[in-house]
Structures are given as C-alpha cells and as structure tokens.
Chain A
C-alpha cells in the first residue's frame, strides 16, 4: 500500500475508533442529550458499577419428579376412561410405581407414554424416565424458569438486566445497580401459587377438625391451617385438594391500599378465569372461599356476592409482602425450584473504589512506559507512544462497538496490552539499532528491521491470542471480560506496531533518512 493509502487507512481507523470510544467517557445523560454522541458505550461489569450476579440451577430432581407427576395424571385419566384398574401409585426419586391391573397398565404405558422405560417388580409396574427425557425435562424447566425470571426481574425495576441460559439447566442472572441482595431474593422464591378453594368445613384447631372424621379425612380433601401474623394457628379449614381456580389464569395482580390504608392485593382474571370465578361465586353466596398462596391460607372470607373479573385479597401482610406477592402472582410461578449456585454482589461504593484504583494504576503504568520510550528511543520512541495511544483508542472503540463488558481485571488488561504492544516496537527498534551497528544505512536498517521482525511479531501475537481466547472461553464474569480486553488489545497491537509506527517512520525518515534518531 502506498504511503498515502496507509495514512488514509490510519486516519479512518483512528477517527472511527475515537468516535466509537467517545461515549464511554460520558455519562448516560450526556449520551442521550448530545446528538453527536453514540448511545452505546462500553458496559461496565458488575464488579465496577455494583450489582448482583447469580448462577442458578434448575433442581433436576424436582424437574424429573414434576415430569413423572404429569405422566401419572395422564395415566390416571386414561386408565379410568379405559376402565383399567389402577389400585395405587407412588413417585419416589426418578421412579413411578403403579399397582393394579399390571398387563392393562403396561399396555397403556407402552401405547401412550414414550418417555419411560417400564419394568415389572414385585407385582408392580416400575416406570423410569429415559435419560433423554430427563434432560429434556430439565431443559424445559430451565426455559420456563428463564421466562418467569425475565418477567419478575423486569417488574422488579432492574435496568438492563442480563438473564441467559448457561449450559445445561443453568441460568445466569446479572442485575446491575441492585444493591440489596436480601430483597432481591424474592425474585427466585420458588413458587408463588395462588389457589381458590371452597371451605367445606372449619374448626378452631386441626385436632378438633380431625376429630370430626374418625375414619380420616376423605382422599380428595385436605386440611389447611389459617395462621395469624405471629404464626399462631387461628383456624383449621377443610378444603378439596382440587382448586376451583389457580393463579395461572391471572391476568394482573398488584399491591394497593384499602380505605383504611392497609395493603391489599388486587387481581384480575383472564376471560376463562373470570367466567369460572363468576359461576362459582354466584353459586356459592354465603359460603366461605379460601385464598391460598403457596399452601398458606391468606384469607377465607364469606362470599357476599357474585364476583367476576376483578377481586381483591385482604390479608394480614405488610406492604412489602403484599408487593412482592403481587410481583410473583403477576409473573407466574416458578414451576421448578432453583438452586442458587453462585452469588456475587458488589456495592456501588466498592465498584467506585475499584474504578479509581484501576484507572490510577493504569495511568501510572502507561505513563512510566511512555516516559521510558521517549527517553530511550527519542523521536522514534515518540512514534511508538503515538502508536500506543492509537492502540488504546482502537481497543476502547472496539469494546464500545461490540458492547463488551469492561471489568476491573479488564482495566488491568488494557494497560497490560500497552506493555505488550510496546514489545513489538522494541523488537523492531532493537533490530534497527543492530542493523545500524552492522553498518547498514538508516534506510536499509529500517527496511530490514521491519522485514526481519514481521514474522516474529506475527507468531508472538498468534500464540498470545491463543491463550487469551481460551481465557474468553473458560473465564467467567470479570475474568472473561479481561480475556476479551486482551484479545482485542492484541489485535489492535498488531495493527499499530506493523502499520502505524512504520508509516510514521516512512513519512519522517523516508525522504530524510539521516534524521533517524533511535
């Protein structure tokens, strides 16, 4: 490429990269208010801006169990349809045991359920989920959980959260700016499940209620306890196991205040739910209806009139509880519990400290390198310094353009890149000095210096890239950010060492080789 062509290339790269990197030096407000600034700057990692990082895992045992429950319920239905005797059933771990008309049940399973391996043991049918279906159950659980989490985090008011699947059955959640790890926990509270059930019977305590059924509570009914705020049992209620209505038909739920300024939860059904609710309340005026969240009775009022689409739950809860419950009701239940495998939260003050320390160290380190180069190689050293500046501009520009995340080790990576980029120049300059000592002319020395160094620099960069790319692949969070910075920095350094300094030298020394100061 001609000298002019190289200058044009350098100018274009520098201008574009400066433009791209500019937003990273301005605040969010400035970026939106100035038309000439791009909106996207580098993203600051959680370790710098503060926030919460979670690595969640779907509880695989629960996912498998949930899958078996589904199979059981469909088997129960089709067995009663086909008049096949199903005497008993049991789910333990990853096995489903069925008793009754074994050949009939076996035929039923073979025909309708492909996801299980069926075996006969001790006069019972033992069904185990196949491995592929286990994996699928876990993946499905993870993707449902991901959707629910997205909704919840969104309603929690987090700006620019990151919620992504992370390998098999795992979810990575990053919430910048969230300060309080305790209150954020509500987001992963396992299952908020709202159910409405008619109250069939009631007694002041569980014992008294049980006493009414000497032969035990009927199979399809259960006893639930209504507790006071202090956790004392206030009443025992007998309700059917099957709910009239479930929270999955909710369209909306929010926290509001009633006339006495007590927090209440208001809700709104979708059309299907509204119809069911209207029919049920219409037919049961004067009877009691229990609102149950996660198996706990919240309230069990007497139905005064027909209720349709909208309703409200008055309970003995605090404002925060009501608000959190509403969030969970709105976003739906997490179908499968999540295990918190990794939690990292950084407060905003610590992040600010880190930025300050990192920037200070970088400026100090880079300053020392600059000073040394200028003294040691005089004018030619200044060329290298210019190239280093272009290098950093390209690095920040590329990181801004790709919306890469800058982390604290990443800041160290920027300045390390400076240290390594300077190496390419040192290799070339030392070679030029050597050629000069061997008696070559300045022009020939520059020529040979670059020619002999090219492949050395190329090989050195490729091998360094190898390990930095591996860092990007296996690293997490801040370390991954460091790998990205290093990788981009190495690419930029090849360009600046081989093109920028060369062009500067050709321009200044080309016509006047006698001026070479090195």
Chain B
C-alpha cells in the first residue's frame, strides 16, 4: 500500500511567507498571553496542596458543599472542591493554591478534621503538597532545561551541518515550545511537570523532523548546487513528505491512544504532545527551511562535493 503513489510537487517555498507571518502572529499572541495571563500552573510549579479523598458510604450523602463547609471551619475558606467521577464514586479533589510552608502538618490536620466532622475514616487516595521554594526551583529548572536543549541542538547542528542550518533548526524549536506553551496559557489548561516533560519531547521530536529535511536539502544541494535553492528545498521537502506525514501520523496514533485511554494523570501530557507534534511537523517544513533559505541567500551556502553513496554497514549478503 502507498499513500503517495507519485512524487508530490507542492511549492512549499512559495507558501513560506504566509506561513511565517501566521507563525509570527501566533507567537506574538502566545508571548503576550504568557506575559499577561501567565500559566495555570499546577502545584508542581507554584506550591500548594492537592488531595484526592474518597468518602466512605457510612458518612451518608456528602457533597461538595458539605466538604467546603468543613474546610471553612478548619480555616481553609479558599479551598477548591471538585467531585471526581460519578456521584457513587464519592471522590473529591481538594485543592489549596499557594503554599503553606510554615504548616508542615497541614495535610494531616485537614484529613483529621474531615474524619472528625464526617465521623468516619476518609480514604486519602493521593496527597500532594509542594512548598513555594521547591515550586520556584522547578520553574527555573524547567526553563533551564528547555534553553539548554536549544543551545545543545544549536551546537550539534552547527557541528554536523553548516552554520546556516543551525539558527533555523533552533528557531523552529523555539517556535514549537512557544506555540504549545502559548496555547496552554491562552486556554488556561493546567501546566504541570508532565507538560514540561512533553515540551522536551516535542523539542526532540521536532528536531528529528528538521534533521530529516535538512539532511535531504544538503544531499540535494551536493548534486544540484545552490543556484536554484528554492527548488532544491522544495524538492527535498517533497521527497521526505511521505515520511514526514507517516511518522507524525504514527506518533499521533500513540499520543491519541494515551489521550483517550491513558487516564487523567497523563491527559495534559498527551494534549501537549498532540499539539507539539502537529506544530513540530509544520515548523520543520516552514520555519526551519525558511530561515535556512534566507541565511543561505544572504551569506551564501557552501556547496559540498557530491558524496559517493556511503555504506552504513558493509554486509556480505548485499554486496
């Protein structure tokens, strides 16, 4: 079976100015949202306490209101209480934003208070509590990680390709991270540690895509030279298009499976990946290649001598 029976001849380069303009608009919106609205950080990054409790049947009919009242009496009027699952699950999530570093025993006090007020043993399915200091450190560590991976990739691409390739590769990654994180900011989706992990996976994934296309551009340049750089880039993107579509499609199959049946913990992670893989595929074609063309036009692109076909692993059977 083949989805791409014949070679495609899409003029990607001509679309680039529009796409770049689109990207610039989205990035500006994203950055503005990040600056103005910020993120809906989970307690991982902001500190606070989240407990998921299950009230046993013996306690009778308990709703959010009842729990809110109890917490109010325990001195936590700002607690958010959300019912989880169906009413018969009798599960609630109690969140306290911001953090109470001074009160080390807060979670224990709250659980005991609930037990006493409901006259039963509440089951603590999960308790998470993060101090503000740790939250701040994690935020910094996250930013450091992302920037470090950009720098690392900049150096690697520079080393393996020509310098004209490196800025485009990294700009594409900056684009992907801003785009994905921007959507999280704009829509107020919760940003937790898993989403940060997803951003790093997106960097790796998008880089993967960019390398495949760059590699092909370099290969085509070595046979056709740089005089018709636009058509060389078009040819390279078209030649790798089936691979690009297949790979991102297959990876999305997995991501969608996680999104649909992977459970609540991984939902944000899968959502970020879903967006990031779409954007990453797009940016490798439009952003990374556009920057490369611009730099190569302005500063020139060395034409390597056509390389003989390299053999990865010599093998007796095929030679």
Contacts and interface: CB of A to CB of B under 8 A. Distances in A.
Given A466-B153, A507-B317, A422 B108 contact: no
A499 B156 CA distance: 25
Interface in B269-319: 269-270, 273, 309-313, 315-319
A376 B126 contact: no
A185 B108 contact: yes
Nearest to A348: B125
A426 B128 CA distance: 42
Contacts of A482: 194, 197
Contact of B313 (A47, A344, A373, A502): A502
A427 interface: yes
Contacts of B129: 340, 342-344
Nearest to B102: A339
A452 B7 CA distance: 19
- Chain A: interface size category: 35 or more
B153 A452 contact: no
Interface in B148-200: 148-149, 152-153, 156-157, 160, 193-194, 196-197, 200
Contacts of B111: 181-182
Nearest to A180: B124
Interface in A190-242: none
A483 B205 CA distance: 14
B101 interface: yes
B124 A345 contact: yes
Interface string A163-187: 0000000000000000011100100
Residue of A418, A479, A511 with most chain B CB atoms under a 10 A cut-off: A479
A412 B274 CA distance: 13
Interface in A57-93: 57
A467 B247 CA distance: 19
B138 A476 contact: yes
Contact of A479 (B125, B131, B196): B196
Given A470-B152, A470-B200, A460 B315 contact: no
B201 A451 contact: no
B211 interface: yes
Contacts of B2: 376, 433
Contacts of A339: 101, 104, 131
Contacts of A357: 261-263, 265-266
Given A3-B316, A181-B107, A341-B131, A416 B1 contact: no
Residue of A341, A460, A471, A511 with most chain B CB atoms under a 10 A cut-off: A341
B108 A182 contact: yes
Interface stretch (A12-20, A299-307, A361-369): A361-369
Interface string A351-391: 00110111011101110110011011110000000000000
Interface stretch (A112-120, A131-139, A261-269, A441-449): A441-449
A478 interface: yes
Contacts of B212: 427, 456, 460
Given A454-B310, A467-B200, A474 B315 contact: no
B112 interface: yes
A464 B206 CA distance: 9
Contacts of B254: 365-366, 368-369, 415-416, 418-419
B130 A342 contact: yes
B105 interface: yes
Nearest to B151: A466
A450 B313 CA distance: 8
A284 to B, nearest CB: 39
Nearest to A505: B318
Contacts of A364: 257, 261
Contact of B144 (A418, A434, A474): A474
Contacts of B131: 339-342
Contacts of A47: 265
A176 to B, nearest CB: 14
A33 interface: no
B318 A422 contact: no
A446 B315 CA distance: 12
Given A345-B127, A443-B318, A459-B160, A437 B133 contact: no
A510 B318 contact: yes
B38 interface: no
Residue of B129, B208, B242, B256 with most chain A CB atoms under a 10 A cut-off: B208
A423 B138 CA distance: 32
Contact of A3 (B247, B250, B261, B317): B317
B219 A460 contact: no
Contact of A423 (B7, B141, B251, B263): B251
B142 interface: yes
B28 interface: no
B139 to A, nearest CB: 11
Nearest to A446: B318
Contacts of A506: 315, 317-318
A460 B247 contact: no
A464 B243 contact: no
Interface string B96-111: 0000010011011001
A409 interface: yes
B204 A358 contact: no
B25 interface: no
Contact of A345 (B126, B142, B257): B126
Given A347-B123, A416-B254, A423-B208, A447 B311 contact: yes
Nearest to B216: A456
A462 interface: yes
A243 interface: no
Contacts of A356: 263
A475 B199 CA distance: 12
Given A185-B105, A419-B253, A361 B258 contact: yes
A192 B240 CA distance: 68
A491 interface: no
Residue of A350, A412, A474 with most chain B CB atoms under a 10 A cut-off: A412
A353 B211 contact: no
B145 interface: yes
A274 interface: no
Given A409-B269, A467-B200, A470-B149, A415 B258 contact: yes
Nearest to B207: A463
A341 B211 contact: no
B203 interface: yes
14 contacts: A339-B104, A341-B131, A342-B130, A347-B123, A347-B124, A353-B263, A362-B257, A362-B258, A419-B250, A454-B312, A455-B215, A463-B204, A468-B201, A479-B194
Interface of A: 1-3, 6, 47, 55, 57, 180-182, 185, 339-347, 349-350, 353-354, 356-358, 360-362, 364-366, 368-369, 372-373, 375-378, 408-409, 412, 415-416, 418-420, 422-423, 426-427, 430, 433-434, 437, 443, 446-448, 450-456, 459-460, 462-468, 470-471, 473-479, 482-483, 486, 498-499, 502, 506-507, 510-511
Q: Enumerate the 10 nearest inter-chain pairs by beta-carbon distance, A residue then B residue, closest first.
A: A357-B263, A454-B312, A365-B257, A365-B254, A510-B317, A464-B204, A361-B262, A419-B251, A506-B317, A467-B204
Given A423-B247, A466-B149, 7 more contacts: A357-B263, A447-B309, A460-B211, A463-B156, A467-B200, A470-B148, A471-B201
